[in-house]
Amino acid sequence: MANATGILGNDSKAVKIHHLVKAPENTPESISFRESWDATKPVTVYKTPEVLPDGSICTAATVIFRTKGCAWWWKSGCTFCGYFNDVRDDVSESEMFMQWEDAKEKTNNFEDCNMVKVYTSGTFFEDRENPIRWQEAVLRETSKMGKHLVIEAQAQMCTPKKIAWVADHHPGCTVAIGLEAYDDTVLRFHINKGFSIKQWHKAVKMLRENNLRVKTYLLFKPPFMSEYDALKHTTSWLKEVAPYSDEVSVNPMNIQKNTIVDRLFRNREYRPPWLWSLVEMIVSAEEETSKHSCRVIVHPTAGGRPRGAHNCKECDSSVISAIDRYCISGQADELKTLDCSCKARWESELKNDQSLPVPLGTGPFRRGKPVDMMRAP
């Protein structure tokens, strides 16, 4: 043991598992790959149907910027988040402005869009991540255009001074916080989130005091959790955060490359959630969330694919389409009528999860060749 290194270590400070996973990202090859991205162009710009705060349906433009990334990632990082794959360490202020101009050009100055979502793979108003002048320009310009703005932040980055500054430059905008789980144990050991529920409540209070809207992200099926536990806990979390939120967006896990969850998935120690679980969560929480006029959004990114939430493949597209329609209409009646032969398999897995205390769940992988699934990872 005296000569052991790494996690076991010697007398020096132990190496965190998360840092070992991140290590390949610090190789010259990985850095060179990240720096190959065009820093003058955003990652992507696209339009989707959305709902404004007054309940009317509109078109929203989403702009994902190529930034320096999340300050929490620099220090540690969440187990599931792969946004660091799209960042550049050397993005300059002028390049951020060029990305903004490119987004406006691609959307003709956000023509026909009443909502603009600005995502920066971190906290929008964190000065270490994004230039202050650029932050101010985005806030002022979208406000002047009369567009409802949605930005993202981590709870611990919300300070009274900064929140008041945001409210002054774009009154009434929406600040989305990735809470992920309303459980400090899950936040710490399953997600490695970097803040607590208490800090989230503090951030929500600041936003309310400055008349800003609150959007809360929850994560469906964090790692080290069975399907039944994910359904039970996320349904409970949804009901608990609804009174404090204008919107709750539940994001079912999708496997992003080079993350801890990616490593678990490739080692067959994690299975993405069933689409049936998302349907059950929506229906079970509907009565409680409607009491608080809280809109619930569920977006199965990579839905129907092996790395995203999926069922048997035959019913994936119809279930995903029904969930998408629910996100706009807010009516869950259609979801209650959905059916497929694979639903019985899902119900059986939930029962087995309750009777057999297996941390990773009892269900088999639903995609892939049976022979390959029997082989060792």
Q: Which band of pLDDT confidence, cut at 50, 70 and 90, is reported for residue 371?
A: low
What is the arithmetic mean of pLDDT over 162-167? 98
> What tokens were used for 149?
């703005």
Q: Can you give the pLDDT at residue 267?
A: 87
Q: Which residue has the higher pLDDT, 311 or 15?
A: 311
Q: What gap in Å lies between CA 176 and CA 181, rounded to an integer?
A: 14
Q: What is the DSSP string of 119-184?
A: E-SS-TT-TTTS-HHHHHHHHHHHHHHTPEEEEEE-GGG--HHHHHHHHHHSTT-EEEEEEE-S-H
pLDDT one-digit tens code per residue, 69-79 = 899 988 888 99
Q: Can you give the pLDDT at residue 6?
A: 44
Task: Measure Cα distances from 35 to 254, 256, 258 in Å.
Answer: 25, 20, 17
Q: Which band of pLDDT confidence, cut at 50, 70 and 90, is reported for residue 288?
A: very high
What is the arithmetic mean of pLDDT over 273-294? 95
Sheet with 295-298, side-by-side order of all strands? 44-51, 57-64, 115-119, 148-153, 174-180, 213-220, 247-252, 295-298
Burial class (CB in 10 A: 0-12, 13-18, 19+), 214: buried
Q: What gap in Å lies between CA 172 and CA 208, rounded to an integer?
A: 10
Q: Can you give the pLDDT at residue 250?
A: 98
Please give the span between the terminal C-alpha atoms of the chain, in angstroms, as a whole number. Answer: 28
Task: Measure Cα distances from 337 to 34, 276, 278, 280, 372 in Å.
Answer: 46, 12, 14, 11, 35
Distance of CA 304 to the CA centre of its chain: 18
Q: Are 154 and 123 in contact (CB under 8 A)?
A: yes
Architecture of domain 30-374: Alpha-Beta Horseshoe (3.80)
Q: Are 65 and 99 in contact (CB under 8 A)?
A: yes
Residue-level length of the chain: 377
User: Tokens 């132990």 identify what position?
Assistant: 14
What letter represents residue 197's amino acid?
I
Residue 171, number of CB atoms within 10 A of its CB: 12
Q: What gap in Å lies between CA 312 and CA 301, rounded to an integer?
A: 17
Q: What are the residue ranges spanned by the domains of the chain?
A: 30-374
CA angle in degrees (0–180, nearest 5) for 339-57-238: 55
Q: What gap in Å lies between CA 233 and CA 175, rounded to an integer?
A: 24
Q: Can you give the pLDDT at residue 121?
A: 93
Q: What gap in Å lies between CA 15 and CA 142, rounded to an integer?
A: 44
Q: Can you give the pLDDT at residue 115?
A: 98
132-145 helix and 93-106 helix, angle to the nearest 10 degrees: 20
Taking the model in full, what pTM does it have? 0.91
Query: Any residues with CB less than 8 A from the CB of 84 and at least 6 apart, and which?
Result: 25, 69, 70, 73, 77, 121, 258
Q: Can you give the pLDDT at residue 84?
A: 84
Q: What gap in Å lies between CA 77 and CA 87, rounded to an integer?
A: 14
